[in-house]
Amino acid sequence: MATVLKITLNSETATQQFAQKLAQNIKPPMVIYLQGDLGVGKTTFARSFIQFFGFDKVKSPTYSLVESYQNDAINIHHFDCYRLSDPEELEYIGIRDYTNTPAIQLIEWAELGTGMIAPADLTIALSGDSETRELMLTAQNDIGNTLLQCV
Ligand code: ADP
Ligand code: MG
């Protein structure tokens, strides 16, 4: 059975802190889908998560489709499938090379890459407006479950 965790974050800072807490407890490989409407905070969440590992500049992959971050400690791929018109386009950017090695994958708009994108271990659905965000974290398997026990 999927484990679900619901939390309310009252400010952008709270979202950033929560993303970093998740980053602190993560063990690769791990696939995380970030879900929710445009402007809800998917990239904001991913940016703080990635910055936890010492990468200062994290730009949205909206145009590039994927941005990768690699150092001695970690290997992260941040995807945004919003601009995909066909999941097959992921084949052209060599998605297999991205997913062959154990890494953390953070994926925005994963539903637009169905069939090519790895299945999620954890989904994070964001909603809300103004400064407040509701996050619903759902573990899709034991890997996701183990992570959720830590936060
Ligand atoms: P998405 O990637 O989902 O399209 P972005 O992360 O690019 O969204 O944008 C989220 C916007 O919402 C940013 O302008 C951010 O400053 C704002 N924001 C306000 N409150 C929050 C919050 N609690 N958590 C995340 N973002 C917030
Ligand atoms: Mg985004």
- Cα-to-centroid distance, 45 and ligand 1 (Å): 8
Which atom of ligand 1 sits closest to the CA of residue 131? 20
Distance CA(84)–CA(109), nearest Å, equals: 9
Q: CB 19: neighbour CB atoms within 10 A?
A: 25
Distance CA(25)–CA(49), nearest Å, equals: 11
Cβ atoms of 104 and 113 within 8 Å: the answer is no
Tally the domains of the chain. Answer: 1
Q: For a pocket test of ligand 1, which of 7, 12, 49, 106 has the largest count of ligand atoms closer than 8 A to its C-beta?
A: 12
Distance CA(118)–CA(11), nearest Å, equals: 31
Q: Which range of residues forms the domain containing residue 108?
A: 4-150
- Cα-to-centroid distance, 108 and ligand 2 (Å): 7
Distance CA(138)–CA(6), nearest Å, equals: 9
- 134 phi and psi angles, rounded to 5 deg: -100, 130
Per-residue pLDDT reduced to its tens digit, 91-146: 998 888 888 888 999 999 999 999 999 999 999 999 999 999 999 999 999 999 99
- For 14, the 3-state DSSP assignment is helix
Percentage with pLDDT > 70 across the chain:
99
Tell me the CATH number at 100.
Answer: 3.40.50.300
Per-residue pLDDT reduced to its tens digit, 57-75: 999 999 999 999 999 989 9
